[in-house]
Amino acid sequence: MRKLSPVGYSNAVKPFPNNSEDSSNNPTAAESEGIDFETEISKEQNSFIVRLEDFEYIIDQNMTEFRDPQAKRLRSKWKQQFGSKSLENLRRCLLLPPLPDHLDQCLQRIRILRRRNKRKVEELRMRVEINFCKMYCTLSINMNLNLQHTVRNLKNAVYNDDIDVIQIRYEPTQIAWIWSDGSVLIINGRGHEMLAETQKDLMFRTLGKANFKADFSNKLLHLRLISCAHFPWGISLPEFTASSVLSPEPHMKYVYYVDKAVPGVAARVHETGMVQVFAMTT
């Protein structure tokens, strides 16, 4: 029988590895031990929300009477009740105020005896059209609210003293606003039932009313039309958000604007200069 030499034996059988040494030299093992699963799950959820918002926004942008059967029925009823050209009559063109001329401002600081020639200012006009959108609603709580106190009873809500409006986020794209006079606006609903559930939650958390169902006194209105306009220039969302917005929209190229002076109205402001207004009146 062949005998194994000490050298042959050492080559045939290797000692057990040192776990501490191998784990330090093995980057894969170190990385697997350092995975934060909560962070990774949160990243996936945020990515899903962004993709969902992008998808629903694309639907809003491309929604027409031919792609949306419900919108087609609404347009047919609209034509029967108000006439075929009534929607076109809602379109209008607004004259924008002239932009301040920097050169003129500088000359005004200098005392010049001769009369300064008037500079011709180009008139800027903004065309306003009516587009289809997902359903939204307005209603009234029929009482004044202390918003600083009300916001404490709401989840996923933000409030600002200067703007004096509460913003509440429900579904990834569904948002509600509450004004101090009791006005409520809820946008991006998928139908009457979804908006009704949001109304129930708001009334329960603000007034303690369970199983709320709006009646004629609440002045509940539903609509699927928004006013859409384009400024002739882009908008810096970071600067606009810092001064006039309750909450930014992460990873999105638009923000929502509301103000205490205009209850029941919200605007979606895009960095391209497009503005979409949610309002029951034009």
Q: Is 44 within the bounds of a domain?
A: no
pLDDT at position 14 is 43
pLDDT at position 97 is 76
Q: Is 151 within the bounds of a domain?
A: yes
Q: Is 24 within the bounds of a domain?
A: no
In which residue ranges of the chain is pLDDT below 50?
A: 1-17, 19-25, 27-32, 64-66, 103, 112-114
Q: Is 46 within the bounds of a domain?
A: no
- Whether the CB-CB separation of 229 and 93 falls below 8 Å is answered with no
pLDDT at position 201 is 93
Residues 141 and 7: their CA atoms lie apart, in Å, by 90
Q: What is the pLDDT of residues 153-209, one digit of tens each?
A: 998 999 999 999 999 999 778 999 999 999 999 999 988 999 999 999 999 999 888
pTM confidence score: 0.67
pLDDT at position 252 is 82
Residues 82 and 141: their CA atoms lie apart, in Å, by 30
Q: State the DSSP H helix or E strand holding residue 134, giving kind and residue range, or none if neither.
A: strand 124-140
* Residue 46, helix vs strand vs coil: helix
- Count of structural domains, the chain: 1
pLDDT at position 124 is 78
pLDDT at position 171 is 78
Range of the domain at 215: 69-278
Q: Is 101 within the bounds of a domain?
A: yes
Locate 71 and state its tokens.
């919108």
pLDDT at position 5 is 42
Q: Is 11 within the bounds of a domain?
A: no
pLDDT at position 56 is 56
- Whether the CB-CB separation of 214 and 137 falls below 8 Å is answered with no
Q: What is the CATH number of the domain that holds 108?
A: 3.30.310.10
Q: Is 47 within the bounds of a domain?
A: no
pLDDT at position 70 is 63
pLDDT at position 12 is 41
Residues 229 and 275: their CA atoms lie apart, in Å, by 5
Q: What is the pLDDT of residues 199-218, one digit of tens each?
A: 999 999 998 888 899 999 99
pLDDT at position 125 is 81
Q: Is 80 within the bounds of a domain?
A: yes
pLDDT at position 163 is 95
What number of other Cβ atoms are within 10 A of residue 256's Cβ? 20
Q: What is the 3-state secondary structure (H, E, C) of 211-277?
A: CCCCCHHHCCEEEEEEEEEECCCCCCHHHHHHHHCCCCCCCCCEEEECCCCCCCCEEEEECCCEEEE
pLDDT at position 11 is 42
